[in-house]
């Protein structure tokens, strides 16, 4: 089973807030994304591919105010009142990450054998993009987002149409994970700590090196 960091997730109270944060923080206007009918969310995207994390990107996501309430809890903890309050008070925040695999069923089974419950595998799509992803019914962010969701793309990957904007993900680390469980996070380039911030990303941007810390 191959594994790779697929994308980082920045949650925002509104998508406009997220776009403004991206321009102010990274010096780049994010590209258009779309709507997720399954979850009642919408997003914007930014390519962050590098030699360490090829085919990676940043997803800025928010609840879609024009979409009907979904039948299930929204991903990335977006229905958590505490998180929404924090986003309104302090602005967009790095809240989660998603790891890519080419064998999602086998990956999920391997995690279960290690005592990790990633949730059920759910099929989703946005426009012509199709994927399967692990989702827990409660959408709980384990270790404050240090444990990733796992995704398997069916066909095209979002980075195939995202233009380079001069942003590159150079380093990524997760914290608060017992080192005995690090085997469950065998993603090339990702550093695992038993202490420290749940999420820490280092990006090269038009504004210089920017560090994002999140997961609180």
- pLDDT tens, residue by residue, 201-213: 999 999 999 999 9
Task: List, for residues 46-92, the tens digit of each pLDDT value.
Answer: 999 999 999 999 999 999 999 999 999 999 999 999 999 999 999 99
Structural domain count of the chain: 1
Domain of 165, in residue numbers: 3-214
What predicted TM-score, i.e. pTM, was given to this entire model?
A: 0.96
- We report the CATH number of the domain holding residue 10 as 3.10.180.10
Average pLDDT across the chain, whole number: 93
Range list of β-strands (E), the chain: 3-11, 31-36, 41-47, 57-63, 93-101, 120-126, 129-135, 149-153, 168-174, 190-192, 199-205, 208-214
Task: Specify the pLDDT at position 117.
Answer: 85
Q: What is the per-residue pLDDT for 91?
A: 97
pLDDT exceeds 80 at position 4: yes
């Amino acid at each position: 089973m191959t594994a790779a960091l697929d994308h980082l997730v920045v949650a925002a109270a509104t998508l406009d807030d997220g776009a403004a944060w991206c321009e102010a923080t990274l010096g780049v206007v994010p590209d258009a994304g779309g709507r997720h009918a399954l979850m009642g969310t919408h997003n914007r995207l930014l390519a962050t591919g590098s030699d360490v994390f090829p085919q990676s990107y940043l997803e800025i996501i928010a609840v879609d105010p024009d979409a009907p309430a979904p039948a299930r809890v929204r991903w990335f903890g977006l229905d958590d009142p505490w998180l929404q309050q924090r986003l309104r008070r302090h602005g967009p925040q790095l809240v989660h990450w998603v790891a890519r695999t080419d064998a999602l069923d086998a990956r999920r089974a391997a995690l279960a054998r290690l005592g990790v419950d990633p949730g059920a595998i759910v099929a989703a799509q946005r426009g012509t993009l199709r994927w399967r992803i692990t989702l827990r019914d409660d959408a709980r962010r384990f270790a404050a987002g240090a444990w990733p969701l796992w995704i398997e793309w069916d066909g095209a990957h979002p980075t195939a149409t995202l233009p380079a904007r001069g942003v590159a993900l150079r380093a990524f680390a997760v914290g608060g994970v017992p080192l005995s469980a690090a085997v469950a996070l065998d993603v090339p380039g990702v550093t695992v700590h038993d202490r420290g911030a749940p999420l820490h990303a280092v990006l090269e941007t038009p504004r210089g090196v920017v560090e994002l810390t999140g997961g609180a």
